[in-house]
Amino acid sequence: MIETFMWGYWGWGGSTRHLVEAFDAAEALRGYEPLVFVDVRASRAVRAVGFRGDAFENLLGRDRYRWMQRLGNQAVLDGRDGIEIVDPKAAGDLLDLIVESDRSCRRVIFFCACQEPGGCHRYVVGELLVEEARRRKVALSVSEWPGGTPRHLVAPFPPVAAARASHVDSVSSVPMPKAISPAVGVSLPWGSYATVPGPAGDLAVVLGPAIHRQRKWALPLLLHNAAGEVTERQLRRGIIEYRSTLGYAPRFSMATPKAERFARACTHQVRQLSAARAHPSEAPAAREKRGPC
């Protein structure tokens, strides 16, 4: 099965060199050549300096960057709300590139600016891509970078992490432990969780892959609960719901053994969620996030 990724660069505008170095190192750890980045924005006239105009293209080089403007959101160009892909048929061109890159052990990541995939036009591009792959009988999976399933992260978080995590409504990240390298940090699947010790007690935190901003590495903070308030099973259930609702769960074009295993896991998870709906307070609440398109 060919695996491809979607991604939003929200927060990375001033750290594109750190981004490329860390993503390349992450792919090397997983046995792949450096990623090919496909820009699916309708316009590159943005505030984020590292993604403005041809800045990101110049950093990567033409062999690793493609601008597929036809997969952009027409609504953005028109200055209106909603999602309308400029040319849905261009998903075929994206699939061609993915298949071609796979022959040289290189994966493709298509991106725009939005912080989360749910409600973003890149999610729709992913749907078009899966449909085209299904039509061609190409075994493909599409997931938000870096893919994978949530992990229980065991690492020595600095004391300030608990203080920041306790203010989840106003704080968007916690410092990344120094024991975690950038390559491992950016590979951390969305919804991974850890226990952060603090003076007022331990906190169970749910995290995303590392981001570099203001000259520091941090882990996005998605959810938190005081340790002991919820069981690990309840925490996992909340993570599953978070990933499903906001578009982080992978999508598959064909019924392969990997896809079937995922489908069985989803069936089990849905049953758990259905049983939990009578007790919604058991699952940690998600903090609202931004997504401009």
Supply the pLDDT for residue 197. Answer: 80
Q: Which runs of E-coded beta strand occur in 113-184? A: 140-144, 173-175
Q: What is the DSSP letter of 82?
A: S
More confident residue, 198 or 237: 237
Tens-place pLDDT, residues 130-182: 999 999 999 999 999 999 999 999 999 887 887 777 665 666 899 999 999 99
pTM of the shown model: 0.85
C-alpha–C-alpha distance, residues 81 and 292, integer Å: 9
Which residues fall within 8 angstroms of residue 61, CB to CB, at 6 or more apart? none
Do the Cβ atoms of 220 and 205 come closer than 8 Å?
Answer: no
> In terms of Cα–Cα distance, which of 276, 210, 269, 225 is closest to 243?
269
Supply the pLDDT for residue 228. Answer: 59
- What are the backbone dihedrals phi and psi of residue 273, each rounded to the nearest 5 degrees, phi first? -65, -40
- What are the backbone dihedrals phi and psi of residue 284, each rounded to the nearest 5 degrees, phi first? -65, 145
Q: How far apart are the first and last CA of the chain?
A: 30
C-alpha–C-alpha distance, residues 166 and 157, integer Å: 14
Tens-place pLDDT, residues 235-275: 888 899 989 999 999 999 987 665 555 544 543 443 343 33
Encoded tokens for 201 = 């007690």
Q: Which domains does the chain have, with CATH numbers?
A: 2-149 (3.40.50)
